[in-house]
């Protein structure tokens, strides 16, 4: 029996089933593509939401990502996990979408959702301040920081997804931390 993947909607799918769906969808099978979208839509939305921090924009980005998925599914070669490949597609879609809208992600809803788990009021305020500064970082530093700190990826995984060397990710995170440190001081709280 193949390995099992668990999805946010509670369904389980064997990796062999996932591979077969991807292969069928890449050959133009509409049913297989619909099944993939149904399986991963919530995951894609959450990825978009983490990137932009806004429900309305995340919905638009996810819809656009579904269109790009339909056009680009055949380019998935299985070199990485499908969700990693999908993450890159969603993030690139978000970047393109914001450029086309002549806007930048505001992240207000993201700030609220991240700090909602914090129990202490001062911790909530501190987290909001840090995240507000993260969103002001240069795009490459922000992206690297969000991939590693926000998505929990290793520097190596983030490098592969970003198409850069692992040392580049490490340097970007170092630079981002230096900038945040100059704003907040070297407090233990923010890592």
Domains in the chain, start-ordered, CATH in brackets? Answer: 13-106 (1.10.1740.10), 107-191 (1.10.10.10)
pLDDT in tens, 123-155: 667 777 777 788 788 888 888 887 787 777 788
Residues 6+ apart with CB under 8 A from 53: 105, 106, 107, 108, 109, 110, 111, 113
Q: Which of 119-128, 147-156, 158-167 has the highest mean pLDDT?
A: 158-167
For 3, the 3-state DSSP assignment is coil
Q: What's the pTM?
A: 0.58
């Amino acid at each position: 029996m193949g390995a099992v993947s668990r999805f946010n909607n509670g369904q389980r799918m064997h990796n062999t089933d996932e591979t077969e769906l991807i292969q069928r969808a890449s050959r133009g099978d509409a049913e297989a593509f619909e099944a993939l979208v149904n399986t991963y839509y919530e995951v894609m939305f959450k990825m978009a939401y983490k990137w932009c921090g806004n429900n309305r924009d995340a919905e638009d980005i996810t819809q656009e990502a579904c269109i790009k998925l339909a056009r680009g599914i055949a380019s998935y070669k299985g070199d990485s996990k499908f969700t990693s490949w999908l993450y890159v597609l969603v993030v690139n879609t978000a970047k393109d979408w914001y450029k086309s809208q002549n806007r930048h992600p505001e992240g207000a809803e993201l700030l609220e959702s991240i700090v909602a788990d914090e129990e202490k009021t001062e911790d909530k305020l501190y987290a909001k301040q840090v995240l507000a500064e993260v969103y002001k970082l240069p795009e490459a530093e922000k992206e690297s920081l969000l991939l590693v700190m926000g998505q929990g990826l290793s520097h190596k995984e983030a490098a592969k997804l970003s198409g850069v060397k692992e040392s580049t990710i490490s340097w970007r995170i170092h630079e981002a931390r230096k900038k945040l440190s100059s704003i907040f001081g070297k407090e233990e709280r923010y890592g």
